[in-house]
Amino acid sequence: MATVDRVSFIRLTPRGPSLEEWLAVLAKKGFPVRHQDDPYFVQAADKKETKSKARLTKIDALNAALNSIRPGGVLGVPNFSHFAGLDVWFEVGRRLALKGCKVQCCETGALLDPTQGADIAQGAGMVHEAVNRRRGRAMTLKRVAAGVTGGRKKIALTGPKLREALALFADTEWSVPALADKYEMSPSTFLRRVKEATGIASKIEAITLLNKGEWPPAPKRRKSNVKTQDEE
């Protein structure tokens, strides 16, 4: 297979923007998506894929894009929700790092270098935020159409289990996907629970604080709604 310096990847979802709209986003950042030397790869997400855990092995177009890019090249995506989930992002980052390639989020202009741990952590946060935003919109539309009110049941991570999870989060031997499996939740939910408890969702930052003897930080205090006599 011939390799190129820049490739683009687009993942289409049932209720998301059209291919033409995503191509316009890429074009604004200088990705000549209609040029033969800068191809784009498109994957349409089916219902079975969206209901199951996203895996890179199931996204043929993204695999093709990674295989076609030259060492030192750039992979462009409209935004990081196109990676479908953290498991996919970590594997994409690993494969791009092996080639010395970078990845660009065309909506924000962010250019990340997967060989840098800080950029991998930043990318994970961007995937987490973008995927949750997309899924939140889709879930809201679905629940409204079904006439359902109220949110989903919250998965708890508290007490001794939380203390253990925070200790393992700063352990280099434990990846976020492995921790998520251990506590029976998705990687994005696990990172959200860690951030709720500490204000931090970056594994790199947690390891840095551990080396300084500052991990885990003191628990975040919830603001009380009870007024004191002075406030009254």
161 in the same domain as 74: no
Same domain, 75 and 24: yes
- Contact criterion met (CB below 8 Å) for 80 and 127: yes
CA 193, 197, 200 angle in degrees (round to 5)? 85
Asked if residues 9 and 75 have their Cβ atoms less than 8 Å apart, the reply is yes
Question: Under a CB-based contact definition with an 8 Å cutoff, are residues 206 and 200 in contact?
Answer: yes
Q: 231 with 206: CB under 8 angstroms?
A: no
pLDDT of residue 156: 80
Residue 216 contacts residue 198 (beta carbons within 8 Å): yes
* Least confident stretch, 23-32, 48-57, 138-147, 221-230: 221-230
Rounded Cα distance, 132 and 83, in Å: 12
Number of domains in the chain: 2
Within a 13 Å sphere around the CA of 81, how many CA atoms are in the beta-carbon half?
Answer: 20
Same domain membership, residue 157 and residue 122: no
- 184 falls within a domain: yes
Q: Are residues 87 and 198 in the same domain?
A: no
85-116 pLDDT per residue, tens: 888 889 999 999 999 999 988 888 889 999 98
- Same domain? For 24 and 117 the reply is yes
Same domain, 10 and 113: yes
pLDDT in tens, 169-190: 999 888 888 898 889 888 888 9
Q: Tell me the average pLDDT across 33-48.
A: 70
pTM over the 0.85 mark: no
Instruction: Classify residue 15: in a domain, yes or no.
Output: yes
The pLDDT-based confidence of 119 (bands split at 50, 70, 90) is confident
Beta bridge partners of 11: 43
Local structure of residue 52 (DSSP, 8 states): S
Q: Give yes or no: residues 119 and 163 share one domain.
A: no
Query: Is residue 59 located within the same domain as residue 111?
Result: yes
In a domain, 59, yes or no: yes
Is residue 92 in a domain? yes
Give the pLDDT confidence score for residue 48 in this predicted structure. 53
Mean pLDDT of all residues belonging to the chain = 79
Residue 225 included in any domain = no
Instruction: Establish whether the linkage from the previous residue to 216 is cis, with ω within 30° of 0.
Output: yes
* Domain of residue 87, CATH code: 3.40.50.1390
**184-to-128, 156, 161 alpha-carbon distances in Å:** 17, 10, 12
Average the pLDDT over 44-55 and give the result.
58
Is residue 118 domain-shared with residue 38, that is, in the same domain? yes
Query: Does 169 map to a domain?
Result: yes
Residue 108 within any structural domain of the chain: yes
pLDDT above 50: residue 53: yes
**Could you tell me which of 124, 85, 95, 132 has the C-alpha nearest to residue 203?**
124
The pLDDT score that the predictor gives to residue 213 is: 92
| List of residues 6+ apart from 231 with CB closer than 8 A | none
- Tens digits of per-residue pLDDT, 61-80? 899 999 988 899 999 888 88
Q: Is residue 165 domain-resident?
A: yes
- Give the DSSP letter string of 121-151: HHHHHHHHHHHHHHHHHHHHHHHHHHT--S-
* Order of strands, sheet of 40-44, starting from the edge strand that comes earlier in the sequence: 40-44, 4-12, 69-77, 102-105, 111-112
- Same domain, yes or no, for 121 and 15? yes
Task: Say whether both 70 and 107 belong to one domain.
Answer: yes
pLDDT at residue 171, as a whole number: 92
Report the pLDDT value the prediction gives residue 101, as an integer from 0 to 100: 93
Amino acid (1-letter code) at residue 48: K
Which domain-ending residue is among 71, 91, 126? 126
Least confident stretch, 96-100, 137-141, 202-206: 137-141
The Cα–Cα gap between 22 and 78 comes to: 6
Are 64 and 40 in contact, with CB atoms under 8 Å apart?
no
pLDDT greater at residue 207 or residue 225: 207
184: containing domain:
153-219
pLDDT of 226 over the 60 cut: no
Q: Do residues 10 and 64 share a domain?
A: yes
What is the mean predicted confidence (pLDDT) over 12-21? 81
